[in-house]
């Protein structure tokens, strides 16, 4: 469990983290979301004792990082995947870490095996692809078999296969009962990976809770209905006070859930070809909740521009 209380970090005039309080519980993947520059990395560095808070505190299992007797056996982290001596092999890198942290040597091969690097264990880490470097970074985080794991932007720059691997891997770590805290500015990826979210903007907490609740609270729930008797259904739903809008090949209904719509259709002997609740996206929810987050809009626009530029090349 990670607990932050009133966590604050100031760099000169920049308030990078501003009175931030949140809890990350075991057995779940908790996403740490926020636009670039929101303060995610600074917060993670404070969790790991790499930066001192200007105010407040953060603890892991009730203790500050510096009070932990066996830090690597308590918390593992992937902050910068390229933090490896390029001439060292993956095995030599992990052996050095194990030795200097009094971790049993058998964990070196176990960790390499868990991340699927056994076959390249003796190769120079400097020649690894980004995906392999990420795996080695994850093996380092797992070396002490810790209960708490932190990953800072773990999928940045990875191909779809690498992204899927990391997503499944984190979910597996959470299923094992570990506390998994993962930062990202990629909302669609987090929507698929994390069941809990801590959302920050400009260093402040915006929301903490389940991903489903975050999306449900911020976006309208509607139901899509298709039927060969649309006119009859439209009239029946409107008289039940639903808001009904025409879609391409059916209706979009708000104000009634799919169970109620199904019952009304049956009462009216209307055949249904589709009855599907429409969930808003995490992107929509984020935009709705952080409406004033100019920086985030700017990020999205910049990303869209980049995508357009690369597709027109």
Question: Can you give the binding site for ligand ATP, defined by CB under 6 A?
Answer: 11, 14, 16, 34, 36-42, 185
Least distance (Å) between residue 38 CB and ligand ATP: 4
Least distance (Å) between residue 144 CB and ligand ATP: 25
Cα–Cα separations (whole angstroms), residue 235 to 165, 176, 263, 268, 274: 48, 51, 14, 10, 17
Q: Which long-range contacts (CB under 8 A, 24 or more apart) does 261-264 make?
A: 261/223, 261/225, 261/237, 264/233, 264/236, 264/237, 264/240
Least distance (Å) between residue 32 CB and ligand ATP: 9
- Which CB sits closer to ligand ATP, 40 or 93? 40
Contacts of 108 (CB under 8 A, 6+ apart): 91, 94, 95, 98, 143
Nearest residue to 33 (alpha-carbon basis) of 132, 41, 112: 41
Least distance (Å) between residue 37 CB and ligand ATP: 4
In the chain, which ranges are continuous DSSP H helix?
A: 40-47, 71-74, 90-100, 106-114, 130-142, 160-175, 187-193, 211-218, 230-239, 258-267, 282-289, 294-312
- Which CB sits closer to ligand ATP, 36 or 268? 36
Least distance (Å) between residue 170 CB and ligand ATP: 18
Contacts of 271 (CB under 8 A, 6+ apart): 227, 228, 229, 265
- Which CB sits closer to ligand ATP, 79 or 173? 79
For residue 180, the surrounding DSSP H or E stretch is strand 179-184
- Which CB sits closer to ligand ATP, 16 or 233? 16
- Which CB sits closer to ligand ATP, 41 or 222? 41
- Which CB sits closer to ligand ATP, 41 or 134? 41
Least distance (Å) between residue 51 CB and ligand ATP: 8
């Amino acid at each position: 469990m990670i607990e932050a209380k009133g966590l604050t970090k100031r760099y000169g005039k920049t308030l990078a983290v501003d009175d931030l309080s949140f809890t990350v519980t075991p057995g779940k993947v908790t996403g740490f979301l926020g636009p670039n520059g929101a303060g995610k990395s600074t917060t993670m560095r404070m969790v790991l004792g790499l930066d001192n808070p200007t105010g407040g505190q953060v603890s892991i299992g009730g203790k500050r990082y510096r009070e932990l007797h066996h830090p690597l056996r308590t918390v593992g982290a992937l902050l910068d995947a390229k933090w490896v001596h390029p001439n060292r092999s993956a095995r030599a890198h992990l052996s050095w870490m194990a030795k200097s942290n009094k971790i049993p040597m058998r964990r070196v091969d176990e960790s390499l095996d868990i991340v699927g690097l056994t076959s390249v264990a003796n190769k120079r880490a400097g020649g690894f692809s980004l995906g392999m470097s990420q795996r080695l970074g994850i093996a380092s985080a797992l070396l002490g078999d810790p209960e708490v794991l932190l990953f800072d932007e773990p999928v940045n720059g990875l191909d779809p296969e690498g992204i899927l691997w990391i997503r499944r891997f984190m979910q597996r770590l959470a299923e094992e009962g570990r506390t998994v805290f993962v930062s990202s500015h990629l909302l669609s990826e987090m929507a698929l990976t994390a069941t809990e979210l801590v959302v920050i903007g400009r260093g402040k907490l915006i929301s903490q809770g389940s991903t489903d609740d975050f999306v449900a609270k911020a976006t309208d729930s509607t139901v899509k209905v298709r039927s060969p008797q649309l006119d009859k259904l439209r009239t029946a739903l409107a008289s039940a006070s639903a808001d009904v809008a025409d879609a391409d090949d059916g209706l979009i209904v708000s104000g009634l859930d799919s169970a109620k719509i199904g019952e009304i259709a049956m009462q009216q002997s209307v055949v249904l070809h589709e009855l599907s609740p429409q969930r808003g996206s995490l992107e929509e929810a984020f935009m709705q909740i952080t409406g004033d987050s100019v920086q985030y809009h700017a990020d999205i626009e910049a990303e869209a521009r980049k995508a357009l530029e690369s597709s027109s090349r």
